[in-house]
């Protein structure tokens, strides 16, 4: 048999053929489409830089957000203190690092929780349909009746005494998963009519298997986009809560708290007022653009060419 092998071996692929048969799976195609979206890529790079600033910065920078006797009070930006210092003797750059870190922790946790809960809720409602769907989505409607920030503030006000970042994250995510669930339900309603779900049923797949292995992966695009929107919303909501005094409490700090402390300073000591605000805008803006790029990249109907 061994002597037959060389004769049976396939001819080596021609160069042109090798190019056309290059493997292109879903993820790689999405990544390629995303990379062509210049604004989205720039935003992603900026966002990653902000994350690095918040989480790696404190390890490298010599000051943290607390009062230090060695820090001169209320000085404008200088080489030693690039963002200036506060009246009490804190380094603003150290404060902004810590604030961004706390705000990002809240936002990313909110995105994780709200996306998980929202997609499961929406997928189950969409798959079952009928009265289950009706009941589950009416519940979502009811939560959305009261303005979100009002609900969040009312809840957070009751969590007394040194609110930590995860408590704030829990309170915010308790309400904003509703948006994700609506989106996912809409997608699932159209998915469940398709043949591959019918095939799953014919093969005897359980409902939980259909939800977890087929519906949610196929709705990945809208789910990821909803996740990025949740990050942007959570950053703004956390900042608003801290600003109102119901979020993260001193001596810890967050971007909203930093702005609250510098509220009267935009024209007298601008270095206190602008950096935290710019970081909030930067995070919210870049994550929105990343979401936009992902929406286009993950849409299977998109062609490879950029619009």
Partner 1 sequence: MAVYTMRRLLAAIPVLLAASVLCFLLIDLSGDPLGDLRVAQPPVDPAVIASEEVRMYLDRSVPQRYLLWMTGIGGNGDIGLLQGKFGPSVRGPAFDIGAEIGARFLITLRLVVIALMMAIGLAIVSGVISAVKQYSTVDYLLTFTGFLALAMPAFWIGALIKEGGVWANRELGTGFATIGAASADTRGFTAWESFTDAAAHLFLPTLALMLTGYAALSRYQRASMLEVLNSDYVRLARAKGVRNRVVIRRHALRTALIPLTTVSALVIAGTIDGAIIIERIFQWRGLGDFFLESVSTNDSYSVMGWLMLSGIIVVTANLVADLLYGVLDPRIRYG
Of 149, 167, 189, 200, which one interacts with partner 1 (CB under 8 A)? 149
Pair of tokens at residue 72? 């001169």
Judged by CB, which is closer to partner 1: 15, or 145?
Answer: 145
Does 117 help bind partner 1 (rule: CB under 8 A)?
no
Considering only CA atoms, give the Rg of the chain.
25
Does 248 help bind partner 1 (rule: CB under 8 A)?
no
Q: Which stretch binds partner 1 (CB under 8 A): 63-71, 90-98, 125-133, 255-263?
A: 255-263
Does 170 help bind partner 1 (rule: CB under 8 A)?
no
The total number of residues shown for the chain amounts to 307
Does 243 help bind partner 1 (rule: CB under 8 A)?
yes
C-alpha distance from residue 188 to each of 164, 199, 284 (Å): 36, 16, 28
Q: How far is Cα 179 from Cα 227, in angstroms, rounded to an integer?
A: 10
Q: How far is Cα 82 from Cα 80, in angstroms, rounded to an integer?
A: 6
Q: Which stretch binds partner 1 (CB under 8 A): 75-83, 123-131, 185-193, 252-260?
A: 252-260
Query: Shortest gap between Cβ of 25 and partner 1 (angstroms)?
Result: 32
Query: Shortest gap between Cβ of 233 and partner 1 (angstroms)?
Result: 10
Pair of tokens at residue 75? 């000085």
91 strand-pairing partners: 85
Does 264 help bind partner 1 (rule: CB under 8 A)?
yes
Judged by CB, which is closer to partner 1: 186, or 277?
Answer: 277
Q: Which residue has the tokens 């849409």?
A: 299
Query: Shortest gap between Cβ of 150 and partner 1 (angstroms)?
Result: 6
Closest to 39 (Cα-Cα) out of 50, 47, 27: 47
Pair of tokens at residue 236? 């703004």
Does 155 help bind partner 1 (rule: CB under 8 A)?
yes
Judged by CB, which is closer to partner 1: 180, or 218?
Answer: 180
Pair of tokens at residue 114? 């709200």
Judged by CB, which is closer to partner 1: 197, or 255?
Answer: 255
Q: Which residue has the tokens 């049923």?
A: 201
Query: Shortest gap between Cβ of 281 and partner 1 (angstroms)?
Result: 5
Distance of alpha carbon 52 from the chain centroid: 15
Binding residues for partner 1, how many (CB under 8 A)? 44
Does 285 help bind partner 1 (rule: CB under 8 A)?
yes
Q: Which residue has the tokens 């930006």?
A: 77
Q: Are 168 and 248 in contact (CB under 8 A)?
A: yes
| Residue ranges binding partner 1 (CB under 8 A) | 138-139, 141-151, 153-155, 157-160, 232, 236, 239-240, 243-246, 256, 259-260, 263-267, 273, 277, 280-281, 284-285, 288-289
């Amino acid at each position: 048999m061994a002597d037959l092998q060389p004769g049976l071996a396939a001819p080596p692929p021609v160069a042109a053929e090798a190019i056309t048969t290059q493997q292109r799976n879903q993820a790689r195609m999405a990544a390629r489409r995303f990379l062509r979206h210049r604004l989205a890529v720039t935003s992603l790079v900026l966002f990653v830089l902000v994350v690095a600033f918040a989480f790696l910065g404190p390890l490298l920078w010599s000051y943290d957000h607390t009062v230090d006797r060695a820090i001169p009070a209320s000085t404008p930006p200088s080489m030693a203190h690039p963002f200036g210092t506060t009246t009490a003797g804190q380094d603003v750059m150290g404060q902004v690092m810590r604030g961004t870190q706390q705000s990002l922790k809240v936002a990313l946790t909110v995105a994780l929780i709200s996306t998980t809960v929202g997609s499961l809720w929406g997928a189950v409602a969409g798959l079952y349909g009928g009265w289950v769907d009706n009941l589950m989505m009416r519940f979502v409607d009811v939560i959305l009746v009261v303005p979100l920030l009002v609900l969040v503030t009312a809840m957070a006000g009751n969590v007394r005494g040194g609110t930590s970042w995860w408590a704030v994250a829990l309170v915010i995510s308790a309400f904003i998963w509703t948006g994700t669930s609506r989106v996912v339900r809409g997608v699932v309603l159209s998915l469940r009519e398709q043949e591959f779900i019918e095939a799953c049923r014919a093969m005897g797949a359980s409902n939980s298997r259909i939800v977890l292995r087929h519906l949610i992966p196929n709705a990945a695009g809208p789910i990821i986009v909803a996740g990025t929107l949740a990050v942007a919303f959570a950053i703004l909501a956390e900042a608003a809560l801290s600003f109102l005094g119901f979020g993260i409490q001193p001596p810890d700090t967050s971007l909203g708290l930093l702005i609250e402390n510098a509220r009267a300073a935009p024209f007298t000591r601008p270095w206190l007022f602008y950096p935290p605000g710019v970081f909030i805008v930067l995070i919210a803006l870049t994550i929105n653009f990343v979401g936009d790029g992902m929406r286009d990249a993950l849409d299977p109907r998109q062609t490879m060419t950029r619009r």
